[in-house]
Structure 1
Amino acid sequence: MIQEPQTDKHQIGALTGASKRDNYYELHFETGEIARFYILADGIFRLLLDPKQQFNEENSAFIQFDHFNNNAFEKSRVRATNDSLIIHSGNYQIIFWQKPAIMSIFDETLHGTRMAQSSPIEVGAQQTTEFLDQDKNEFYFGGGLQNGYFSHKGRKIKIKRDHITGKGGVISEVPFFWSNRGYGELRNTRQAGTYDFGKTDSKVTTISHKDQLFDNFYLLGSTPQEILSKFYRLTGKPAMLPKYALGLGHIGNFCTTMWQPSKAAVRNATKIDGNFYTRTKNEELASHKASLNGEENYHFSARAMIDRYQKAHFKLSWFVPNYNVTAANDALDFFNDYAVNQEVAPGFWHQDDLALPEKTTFDFTSDAGLIDSDKAKLQNQLQDKRAIVFSDNGSVGTQKDAALIYGDVGGNWENIATQVAGLVGSNLSGQPLAGAAVDGTVGGGNAQITVRDFEWKAFTPLLFNLDDQGQYSKTPFAYNRKITDINHAYLQLHQRLQSYLYTLNAQARLGQPIVRPLFIDFPEERTNYTEMFSSEFMLGDNLLIAPITSGRENEQGDSLKDNLYLPGKQTMWIDLFTGQKYAGGRVYNNLLYPTWHLPVFVRGGSIFNFGKRDYVIYPQGTSHGVTYEDNGTVDFESNHSQTRITSSFDEEKLVVTVEPTEGQYPGLESDQPTALTLICDAYPENVEVRVNDQIVPLQVYGTLDAFAHASEGIFYNTNYSLPEFSQYQLPKQTALQIKLASHAVATTKIEVTIRDFSYSSEVLGHEITSGVLPSPKLPSVASSKISAHSFELAWTHPAEVQVEINNLLYEGIEGTSFTFHELLPNTRYIIRMRYVIGNKVSEWSDLFGVITKHAAEDYAIQEISVTSNFTSKANHPLDYLTDLKLASEWQTSEPVSPEHPLELTFKFSDVEKLSRMAFVPRNIDHEGDPTEISLAVSTDNENYHVYADHVTWKADSKNKVIGLRDVRAKSVRLTVYRSSGPMVAAREIIFYRAKR
């Protein structure tokens, strides 16, 4: 037993006894603790250790205890050995070792251990901690929306919402994690936690919560879907969104926003009613005031905003008119009438327990504690229609009632990759209904970033703008005609994908993430579990989206894209817009994408329903699809239909089968037509269509116009493309299109057989090694061209080459050198290279290695204590200044002056040998940047000597660095005499120790 009396913490002692009770096993330990072990269902277990021995079994705000019975427990059996107690439940053996008192779970079907504690549970008055074995190939996920990350191996995360919306911020806190080893854990607590997934010790995972009660659920499963489905069984299935929620939303403040006249040349000016205006907080400058219904000036009202969307031909689906302010219910009632008449679902924002305005369709709350009651009130008002709550925070159980939406600082490229990883992480944490505002809330103003942000978010379930919080308008028509047209095309595509998104929502209730990492569909590839390609994601299992995440462009303004990974060596990928085909299992480089073109790839074998039984198929191998439909009633389980489609392509024979529709709901059309679009390479002459095993003769049409006017027929389309993007002169694809007249969907089976079908099997062909091509001499990497995240590879002769790095094949590389970006710091890369000419390749060069450098943050001093003589603003606390999260921001609540300077004192745990101090300014604006400072250092925390006296800084976006080479200090004092604004603000102050 390890005991720490000074902190009242100790690890539980040896297991001394056990007994089987009515519905649990009781365990006794040498140190006096008693624990209960419950078997709720196959692969769902609970360990409850209560120091007070009160054992309130149903003490939980989020566990659905009424969904379980005692059957699994009664079927369990127990046996004792010389050193352990073994409980058998289904295919699992739960082993409680006697000394030390640790638990492990053995899976008999796997013939291996799913999870194992590395040392006994630690209990104390303030905290309980579990220690788990960690395997080198084990990866961890969960914890809620940990923005910027979905894979946590080697990291430490906090289970506590911190009001930071950028990278490293915790948007929602979920005390649940799972491992690709095949288990997950859900801690039954609302208290803050810290999960260390090997940052401190690479062989140990440490799970701590500030709760003296250890109440833990263990979820076992062979796949992520199994683990997530068991999480939902405990806490509730994700809600089914009402279909309007899958459309475009607008959130704004039409209660307190004021406007002043401006000019078109002003960067943040907004065109309203033919004139230009900017937002202002100065009532003396304001010429117009926003309102809900035009009580002040109609053109600045919420109603007028709906009109503006309609005039711009953007279909608006839902609207929140009072974000972050309280609005009178009578005004909201009038607005809601107008919105409903315009077929826009109205909602309202609130933080308090308020009465619902009339005709409210949904609400948006910033208080997670109100989600349950809000949902109940909405459901009562809506009766049979489905209710949904939007919230900008949440925890366990939020998924069954609410969708998670949030905004960040717009106008920076980094946020795109950050939010992709964050939304993926939210899905892996049991909250698949999540979305981020286009171009954030504050900041912004960069049209190129805005349009790229809108593009990739069109491939997420929740697409919306959050306006009126900063200087720049966030509407999709806020910029020039080019940007507006691109946004409009992507909105139409988003609407076309509604049936697909709705089906993904239904499948999420079964444990399938919606916005998902590559390893869900390609689990055999280790790299997919890491952060290496964390800015890519799958939307369902059919689409791979690789957002543009930087401003790198060529002279024509096309985005440059490197490091684009398409997984699956036997998978064909098709560019959604151009039809160009790519082989999977490769990393593509030197790709060019015009502003309208987002890198989106369709997986070979994909089957889409573009609505009303309009199926589009990209044949490869055998694949299956299912489409869910309903009428938006509350009870989805009993009121929906599903239609299954199969595509089987073997050599030259393609068979497509549309099964009879199963299920019923009020309003389901019994007779419906069916359309099939089969993407292909050449005209297939042998087409046979059967309806309920009877051959249906179909006329072949020669023109698209004739085919469009026919109720049935076949058309070989050599100019097939997405109609929304026809203006961009896409390379045309070829497709066989088939239409069938209405049939009874519940009793009709459709089967299409094509015997001479072709679709690009040669894409997956292997390169031919040619003896004519010489093997390249060993490429070189100059040490000066190696950084923490990149290195430059150089070779002698100009040529097209393929490079293999850590068993990944990189292509699209030519010339005499190439820089590999987006690499991991302090990582060894094993490299070889070969020449390429057409489909012929040379032998590989010899292998060699490169180790990337340490990242700068590896030298940053952590756990710095900081004090100030100024108070800090709420939600911008002083500890944000040294938390090493560039997304957090500290602000003073007092003005600074030479007569009343700010003093910040930074203390280290030991005397440090420093190299430099970096001041990182806020990125919203530069009101609050220090402009005159001094720096003093101390080795004893008492006596300070001035190191830099009255240094002047510019108020701009650049980091300010003070060199501290060879300076030894235990504390540093920063004095600020002047600032560019009425307060002082910073994202971070970082102290770096000298490199060893």
Structure 2
Amino acid sequence: MIQNTQTNKHQLGALTGASKCENYYELHFATGEIAHFYILANGIFRLLLDPTQEFNENRTELIQLAQFDHSAFERSQVRATNDSLIIHSDKYQIIWAQNPAVISIFDETLHHNRMHQSLPLELSNDGTTEFLAENKNEFFYGGGLQNGYFSHKGHRIVIKHDQITGKGGVIMPVPFFWSNAGYGELRNTNQPGIYDFGKSTPGTTILTHQDKIFDCFYLLGSNPQEILQHYYTLTGKPIMLPEYAFGLGHIGDFCTTLWQPSKAQERNACKIGNNYYIRTKDQDAASGKASLNGEENYQFSARAMIDQYHAQHFPLSWFIPNYAVQTNNVHALEFFNDYALNQDVQPGFWHQSETELPAKTAFTFTDAQSANHDAKQLQGESHLTQPMVLAGSGSTGMQKSAALIFGDIGGNWDNITTQIAGMLGANLSGQPLVGAAIDGLQGGGNAQINVRDFEWKSFTPLLFYFDDQGDFCKNPFAYNKKITEINLAYLKLRQHLTNYLCTLNKQARDGEPIMRPLFSDFPDEKANYTSQFGNEFMLGHNILVAPITNGREDEQGNSRKDNLYLPGKKSMWIDLFTGKKYAGGKVYNNLLFPLWHLPVFVKSGSIFDWGKRNFLLYPQEQSETVIYNNTASANSENGASFTRISSQVKNEQLRVTIEPVAEEVPDAFKEQPTELTIMCDSYPDRVTIKINDQIVPVQEYGSIDAFNHAHEGIFYNVNYGLDEFRQYQKNKQSALQIKLAKRDITTTKIEISVHNMQYGKNVLVHEITSGVLPSPKLPAVDSSKISAHSFELAWPHNSAVQIEINNLLYVGITGKNFAFHELTPNTRYIIRMRYVIGNKVSEWSDLFGVITKHAAKDYAIENIKVDCNYASKENHPLSYLTDLKLASEWQTEQSPSHEQPLELTFTFEKVEKLSRMVYVPRNIDHKGAPLALAIAVSSDGVNFTTYADNLHWKPDTKNKVVGMRDVRAQKVRLTIYQSSQEMLAAREVIFFRAKR
């Protein structure tokens, strides 16, 4: 036994005995502990080690245990060897080594371990720690919505809600993670935890929870979908949202917001009616007050906002009028609900505790604790078969009752990458229904970021605005006509994707994420498991979205996009808007996208229901899809009717089969027409249509007008494009369009054959190596231009080149030099280059390498203790000052003065040799900025000497840097005499140690 008497920690002792009991194996250890090991199902095991030996199997409400019988346990077998106890369950061997007492799970079909403890459990009165061995190519996911991160190898995450919504914030902590090695773990606890995936000890995962009971479920699966299925078996399947939930939502405060007259020139002025106003908290300056139904001023009411959406031709789907206000005016709310429903807008209700809902409330926005209560209450309403509950935070199992939404500080490019990663992480943690507010909850004011944010979030599960929480208006028509029209085009495009989103919601219940990293569909490419291309995501199997994440533009204002990876060497990708085709397995650079154009790519072979049985096909080889449809008979458990469609291209002949709709369909929906749009490159020879095995003659039309007026027909369209985007470009795509008259979709099978089918045939052609092109010499690397995240290559001739970096092919590069961005710090990149002309390439150059520099954060001192003589505001604690999360913010209750200065004392774990201190001020406004201060240092932790006296800083949002070269200190004290406005605030105070 290894024991630390100072901390009362000890390792689990040797395994001394075991017995098979009624529904578990009882294990005894030399240190006196007893554990119960359960075989719940194939690939679902539980280890419960309780120092109190009470062994309450239902110790939390997180897990649904009633569904399990003892059959899997009864089928299991056990045998003992000289040094271990082996439990056989299906294809798995759970091996308990005797000394040290570590567990490993062996997969007999793969002949290797899925997981293996590297050390025995560490136990104490304050918590438990598990140590797991990591493989070199093993990656880790989960932990909930860890905003800014989804791939955790080499990182440490915290399982604790921290009130931070920006990067590093834990919006939804879930004590569940999984590994691509084929296992996951769910800790059955409500206590905080820290998961260290090789950050402090490379090669070892260290999992700690502040719970003296070790209660862990081990989930085994051959792919992420199986592991997530097991997670849902334990915690509940995600809800099915009603169809309106996928439309545009608006959340605002129409109970307390005050409005003050303004001028159009004011950056945060909002046009309401024919005049301009800004929000104010000064009742004397206010000329209008928001209300639900116009009780004060109609133009500022929730009703008026609905009218404004419709006047701008924006179809609004759902609306919450009382965000952050626990209003008791039930009569006014019910009156508003009637109006909203009359306008085909579903009304919602915000609250923070279990409460009775106003009449005709369609959905709620609540906290995690009340989500299950609301779901049951809404389910009880006879007209609501699919309740929608939104929650601003959550925990294990919330997916079975609510979707997760959150806000942030808007108007910031970094937020886009942060939220992509966060929402991917939520999906990989079992919460697939997630959304982030367009342009944030506060902040904003940047029109370009606003529209780019709307564009990419149109391809996320939930689309909505959070208004009335900051200075800027949050709605799709808050800016000029150009931006309003782009937003409207994307909203109409999203309407076409409603059935696709409903289908993804249905598939999510079986373990498939809605938003997913590239490895979900391309698991054989190592780069997809990291955050290297984490700014991209798949929406289901068929759509790849690569949001614009920075303000880089050319002279015409087009966004410049580099480092865009389209995976799959055998895949072809089609730009959704232009129809341009790209070969997969390449990293594209120097791409230009005008403001209206979001980089969105469709995978060849995809099949969509574009709405009302208008099927859109991108044919390649063989593909099949199941499309789910919400109907009046659908409910959250039984799902919806579905249509199975298959497509096959063989020997230049396309066959499309649309099976009869399965499951119950109401009579009103049975008779429907069918339309197909089949993307192609040239005019086909012949089209044959069969209805229930009978050939049906269908006329071909020569004009789009004649085709549109026909009940049935065929038309080869050489000017096909998305109608919503016609004003931005000429339609240059070609497509075969087919219309079929109304038939009973529950009994009708449709088969279509297209001869001489050509689509993308030349895109996947490999380059030809030419001996005429000389092999390039090694490119030059300017060492002064190597940073933590970028480096630049230069070559002697102005030419087109292809560059391979760590086995990834970068294309679209011309000129004499090129800078690579978005790289990983302190990483070696192996590079070679070749010239390219057309489809001919030279031989490769010799290999060479570049190592990126350490990131600045690698030199930031961690675990700094800080003391202050001033009280901190609630939800802005002093600990935020040194947590190294720029999204958190410390605030004081009052402002310092010369008579009573504020003192911040920072204590390091040891004497540090410093290089600089950085004070990161509040960036949403100029409030709380330090104006006058002094700095003192102490090397012994007792005696201080003045380092800088009488410092004066400007009240702006720029970082304040103080050079501290060669200073050795164990403590640093900041004495602040004055701040701007009524408080002192900081996002962070960072101390950097000197570089070694």
Structure 2 counterpart of 1:417: 417
State the TM-score, normalizing by the size of structure 2.
0.99
CA change 1:639–1:407 in 2 (3 A) is closer
CA change 1:395–1:300 in 2 (3 A) is same
d(CA) in 1 for partners of 2:906, 2:667: 67
Measured on the aligned residues, the alpha-carbon RMSD in Å equals 1.0
1:507-559 CA distance string (max 9 Å, x none):
00000000100000000000000010111000000000000000011111110
Structure 1 counterpart of 2:127: 127
Letter paired with 2:14: A
Letter paired with 1:208: T
Higher mean Cα deviation, 733-742 or 501-510? 733-742
Compute the displacement of 1:640 (Å). 2.1
Letter paired with 1:958: K
Compute the displacement of 1:632 (Å). 5.8
Q: In 2, are the aligned partners of 1:630 and 1:636 still within 8 Å (CA)?
A: no
Q: In 1, are the aligned partners of 2:239 and 2:636 still within 8 Å (CA)?
A: no
Structure 2 counterpart of 1:60: 60
Structure 2 counterpart of 1:804: 804
Compute the displacement of 1:633 (Å). 5.6
- Once the two structures are superposed, the pairs formed by residues 422-501 of structure 1 within 5 Å of their partners are 422-501=422-501
d(CA) in 2 for partners of 1:221, 1:358: 45
Structure 2 residue matching 1:85: 3-state secondary structure:
strand
d(CA) in 2 for partners of 1:246, 1:679: 27
Higher mean Cα deviation, 58-67 or 717-726? 58-67
Q: In 2, are the aligned partners of 1:49 and 1:215 still within 8 Å (CA)?
A: yes
Structure 1 counterpart of 2:355: 354
Compute the displacement of 1:693 (Å). 1.6
Compute the displacement of 1:755 (Å). 2.1
Structure 1 counterpart of 2:259: 259
- Once the two structures are superposed, the pairs formed by residues 91-490 of structure 1 within 5 Å of their partners are 91-327=91-327, 328-365=329-366, 367-490=367-490
Structure 1 residue matching 2:483: 3-state secondary structure:
helix
- Once the two structures are superposed, the pairs formed by residues 447-596 of structure 1 within 5 Å of their partners are 447-596=447-596
- Is 1:892 matched up with 2:892? yes
d(CA) in 1 for partners of 2:126, 2:657: 60
Higher mean Cα deviation, 690-699 or 221-230? 690-699
Compute the displacement of 1:374 (Å). 1.5
CA change 1:289–1:794 in 2 (3 A) is same
d(CA) in 1 for partners of 2:731, 2:689: 30
1:375-429 CA distance string (max 9 Å, x none):
1122223455211211010011100100000000001000000000100000000
- Is 1:819 matched up with 2:819? yes
- Once the two structures are superposed, the pairs formed by residues 746-765 of structure 1 within 5 Å of their partners are 746-765=746-765
Structure 1 residue matching 2:174: 3-state secondary structure:
strand
Q: In 2, are the aligned partners of 1:361 and 1:382 still within 8 Å (CA)?
A: no
CA change 1:348–1:636 in 2 (3 A) is closer
Q: In 2, are the aligned partners of 1:627 and 1:644 still within 8 Å (CA)?
A: yes
d(CA) in 1 for partners of 2:632, 2:392: 24
CA change 1:183–1:554 in 2 (3 A) is same
d(CA) in 2 for partners of 1:994, 1:207: 31
Letter paired with 2:501: L
Structure 2 residue matching 1:605: 3-state secondary structure:
coil
Q: In 2, are the aligned partners of 1:242 and 1:632 still within 8 Å (CA)?
A: no
d(CA) in 2 for partners of 1:120, 1:146: 28
Compute the displacement of 1:5 (Å). 2.2
Letter paired with 1:795: W
d(CA) in 2 for partners of 1:912, 1:95: 46
d(CA) in 2 for partners of 1:511, 1:313: 37
Compute the displacement of 1:309 (Å). 0.4
Structure 1 counterpart of 2:775: 775
d(CA) in 1 for partners of 2:878, 2:666: 57
Q: In 2, are the aligned partners of 1:293 and 1:334 still within 8 Å (CA)?
A: yes
Q: In 1, are the aligned partners of 2:660 and 2:749 still within 8 Å (CA)?
A: yes
Higher mean Cα deviation, 953-962 or 155-164? 953-962
1:59-114 CA distance string (max 9 Å, x none):
22121112211111111111111111111111111111111101111111111110
Q: In 1, are the aligned partners of 2:270 and 2:473 still within 8 Å (CA)?
A: yes
Q: In 2, are the aligned partners of 1:386 and 1:632 still within 8 Å (CA)?
A: no
Compute the displacement of 1:804 (Å). 0.3
Compute the displacement of 1:802 (Å). 0.5
Compute the displacement of 1:352 (Å). 2.3
Q: In 1, are the aligned partners of 2:386 and 2:636 still within 8 Å (CA)?
A: no
d(CA) in 2 for partners of 1:372, 1:383: 19
Structure 2 counterpart of 1:644: 644
Q: In 2, are the aligned partners of 1:639 and 1:664 still within 8 Å (CA)?
A: no
Letter paired with 2:516: R
1:670-694 CA distance string (max 9 Å, x none):
2222111100000002111111221
d(CA) in 2 for partners of 1:691, 1:386: 35
- Once the two structures are superposed, the pairs formed by residues 692-731 of structure 1 within 5 Å of their partners are 692-731=692-731
Compute the displacement of 1:490 (Å). 0.3
- Is 1:839 matched up with 2:852? no
d(CA) in 2 for partners of 1:3, 1:403: 45
Structure 1 residue matching 2:307: 3-state secondary structure:
helix
CA change 1:522–1:168 in 2 (3 A) is same
Higher mean Cα deviation, 276-285 or 636-645? 636-645
The gaps in structure 1 that reach 5 residues or longer are none
- Once the two structures are superposed, the pairs formed by residues 620-631 of structure 1 within 5 Å of their partners are 620-631=620-631
Q: In 1, are the aligned partners of 2:506 and 2:639 still within 8 Å (CA)?
A: no
Structure 2 counterpart of 1:12: 12
Compute the displacement of 1:631 (Å). 2.6
Higher mean Cα deviation, 375-384 or 43-52? 375-384
CA change 1:322–1:637 in 2 (3 A) is closer
State the TM-score, normalizing by the size of structure 1.
0.99
Compute the displacement of 1:372 (Å). 1.3
Runs of 4+ more than 6 Å apart: none
d(CA) in 1 for partners of 2:204, 2:218: 18
d(CA) in 1 for partners of 2:945, 2:592: 55
Q: In 2, are the aligned partners of 1:919 and 1:961 still within 8 Å (CA)?
A: yes
d(CA) in 1 for partners of 2:318, 2:856: 44
d(CA) in 2 for partners of 1:520, 1:730: 35
Structure 1 counterpart of 2:75: 75
- Is 1:615 matched up with 2:615? yes
Structure 1 counterpart of 2:991: 991
Letter paired with 1:3: Q
d(CA) in 2 for partners of 1:331, 1:633: 32
Letter paired with 2:947: Y
- Once the two structures are superposed, the pairs formed by residues 920-931 of structure 1 within 5 Å of their partners are 920-931=920-931
Structure 1 residue matching 2:441: 3-state secondary structure:
coil
Letter paired with 1:693: D
d(CA) in 2 for partners of 1:746, 1:199: 56
1:882-928 CA distance string (max 9 Å, x none):
00001111111111122221111101011111000011111111111
d(CA) in 2 for partners of 1:92, 1:632: 44
Compute the displacement of 1:316 (Å). 0.5
Compute the displacement of 1:140 (Å). 0.3
Structure 2 residue matching 1:40: 3-state secondary structure:
strand
d(CA) in 1 for partners of 2:914, 2:31: 46
Letter paired with 1:7: T
d(CA) in 1 for partners of 2:59, 2:666: 39
Q: In 2, are the aligned partners of 1:639 and 1:663 still within 8 Å (CA)?
A: no
Letter paired with 2:338: D
Q: In 1, are the aligned partners of 2:349 and 2:361 still within 8 Å (CA)?
A: yes
d(CA) in 1 for partners of 2:322, 2:2: 56
The gaps in structure 2 that reach 5 residues or longer are none
